[in-house]
Amino acid sequence: MTPTALTSGSVAVVTGGAAGIGLAAAKRFAELGLRLCIADLGADRLVRAAEAVALVGANEAADVMTMETDVSRIDDLRRLERAVHNRFGGTDVLMNNAGIQPGSAMFGPADIWERVLAVNLWGVIRSTQVFVPAMIKRGRSGLVINTGSKQGITTPPGDPAYNVAKAGLKAFTEALQHELRNTPNCRISAHLLIPGFVFTELTARGRTEKPAGAWTPEQTVDFMMERLEAGDFYILCPDNDVPRSLDERRILWAAGDLVENRPPLSRWHPEYAKAFEAFSRKTG
């Protein structure tokens, strides 16, 4: 069954909602009759997003609002929460989707590390701390959906700042769900969306056509909605190249580094290449 929070008349806030997965989610929520606030950077992008959402929404365009918001700034988030409350009376669905991936190096510029952590990790922490207490007090069914990454689980080499942020986001979202389920009279649940390869502004890297291996944002949101209906906390998305079975083997191998006392990131260690290849082919 569709979660009660995703029914007509509920209120959803989507950060990073002007494009990609965030915009696809906003459209889907609007189709279900939710009232929407799209938060992102760029006034022109927000106008286009609001128009696109209004076209598919079950309600009037007046049920879609936008606000320029830098999620790394606590004052922006407080202003956003107040504006949504003033317009719609409160929030039922919070999708912390805003994220950046400029690329990073272990000994690269400190400002890149600081910005990635400020948006991808602190943005989610602060948004949750600003919105969720009022969502609990509201007494209605609700959802917090945090957009994570497989890079925060298997932490592949190449972009350490992003990995650190998304690994922290995973731990935060797990702790959040534990807190919510142990809060008396709380009807809010948290969920970790873990996309596969999705063709968005963030991943395009100059390409104008979707690679064959990538999913569209709409496919990702379709899967997210299906797994929310099933009550999943970990929404682990496949794509056209990587089935869930391979994701599971990669995750199990990464956890095995600690259990088996292998070198960290042994999946990319030449001495373990054959062992991982054999392990990844296993079934069951």
Which of 72, 104, 127, 166 does the annotation list as catalytic? 166
Across 18-33, average pLDDT: 97
With 70 as the cut, is the pLDDT of residue 1 above it?
Answer: no
122: DSSP letter: I
Strands (E), 152-240: 188-194, 234-236
**Amino acid 56: pLDDT:** 94
Please say if 282 is a catalytic residue. no
Superfamily of domain 4-241: NAD(P)-binding Rossmann-like Domain (3.40.50.720)
Which of 10, 127, 149, 189 does the annotation list as catalytic? 149
For residues 126 and 77, the answer to whether their CB atoms sit within 8 Å is yes
Query: CATH 3.40.50.720: which residues of the chain?
Result: 4-241
pLDDT tens per residue, range 82-125: 999 999 999 999 999 999 999 999 999 999 999 999 999 999 99
**Amino acid 284: pLDDT:** 58
- Report strand pairing: 142-147 vs 93-96: parallel
Q: Which of 2-16, 60-74, 166-180, 191-205 has the lowest mean pLDDT?
A: 191-205
The model's confidence at residue 201, banded by pLDDT at 50, 70 and 90, is confident
**Amino acid 202: pLDDT:** 74
CA 94, 35, 145: angle at the middle one, nearest 5? 20
Its pTM stands at: 0.96
With 80 as the cut, is the pLDDT of residue 240 above it?
Answer: yes
Structure tokens given for 161: 């700042």
Across 274-278, average pLDDT: 97
Report the alpha-carbon distance of residue 118 to residue 129 in Å, rounded: 15
Q: How does the average pLDDT of the chain come out, rounded?
A: 96
Which of 127, 150, 162, 266 does the annotation list as catalytic? 162
With 80 as the cut, is the pLDDT of residue 2 above it?
Answer: no
